[in-house]
């Protein structure tokens, strides 16, 4: 009788392990569904290059080291997602929600983040060269030591953002709002600042290149 009970427990545990394994596999493949709902899934290191994921829900998802290069992610939800070292080069993230997402060391070169929301996002040492951030909301975001050289930040909302040590050389900051932003050791050579609201609230005039006049 005891042998039968032990055998029964063994098979129950084996079945439970199989179900957990299958559930994990299903979660890692959630992005392949027609209308992806991946909240809380573990998608570390997953290769999604060029995938069509417009409107997908990735809230709170772990996307560390995931590859989303060239993916279409218009209007996708990445709120609170873990995206350290994520590859997003040339990805289309127009109007995506990345509020409070952790994008430290992420690769976003030449990505389209026009009108995207990145309020409170962490972009420490992120690569944002030539990225389109026109009209993006970056209030309270941390961009310390990030590379935004040549990026388009026209009309971007950067109030209270931390840009300490960031590289903004040749960036377009026309009409951007930098009220209360931290610009310690920020490199602005060649940056266009006409019409931008400076850290002290004044508006930068004509000829403001590299510094607010």
- Residue 185 maps to a domain: no
- Residue 123 maps to a domain: no
Bridge partners, 152 (sequence order): 132, 172
pLDDT, one tens digit per residue, over 124-160 is: 999 999 999 999 999 999 999 999 999 999 999 999 9
Residue 34: what pLDDT?
87
pTM across the whole model: 0.87
Residue 6: what pLDDT?
52
Residue 30: what pLDDT?
94
Full DSSP string of 111-136: -B-TT-B-TT-B-TT-B-TT-B-TT-
Residue 21: what pLDDT?
36
Residue 7: what pLDDT?
55
Residue 27: what pLDDT?
55
User: For the chain, which residues score pLDDT lower than 50?
Assistant: 10-26
Average pLDDT score, the chain: 91
- Residue 58 maps to a domain: no
- Residue 166 maps to a domain: no
User: Distance (Å, rounded) from C-alpha 205 to C-alpha 159?
Assistant: 19
Interior/surface letters 162-192, b for 16+ CB within 10 angstroms, e for the rest: bbbbbbbbbbbbbbbbbbebbbeebbbeebb
Domain range for 22: 2-31
- Residue 193 maps to a domain: no
What is the total count of domains within the chain? 1
């Amino acid at each position: 009788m005891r042998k039968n009970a032990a055998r029964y427990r063994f098979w129950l545990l084996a079945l439970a392990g199989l179900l957990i394994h299958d559930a994990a596999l299903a979660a890692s493949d959630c992005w392949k569904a027609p209308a992806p709902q991946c909240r809380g899934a573990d998608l570390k290191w997953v290769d999604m290059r060029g995938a069509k994921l417009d409107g997908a829900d990735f809230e709170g998802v772990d996307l560390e080291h995931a590859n989303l290069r060239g993916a279409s992610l218009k209007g996708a939800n990445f709120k609170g997602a873990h995206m350290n070292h994520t590859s997003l080069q040339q990805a289309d993230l127009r109007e995506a929600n990345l509020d409070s997402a952790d994008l430290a060391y992420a690769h976003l070169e030449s990505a389209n983040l026009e009108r995207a929301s990145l309020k409170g996002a962490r972009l420490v040492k992120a690569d944002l060269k030539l990225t389109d951030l026109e009209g993006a909301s970056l209030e309270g975001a941390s961009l310390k030591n990030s590379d935004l050289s040549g990026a388009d930040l026209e009309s971007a909302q950067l109030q209270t953002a931390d840009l300490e040590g960031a590289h903004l050389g040749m960036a377009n900051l026309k009409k951007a709002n930098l009220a209360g932003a931290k610009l310690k050791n920020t490199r602005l050579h060649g940056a266009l600042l006409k019409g931008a609201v400076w850290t002290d609230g004044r508006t930068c005039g004509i000829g403001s290149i590299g510094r607010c006049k």
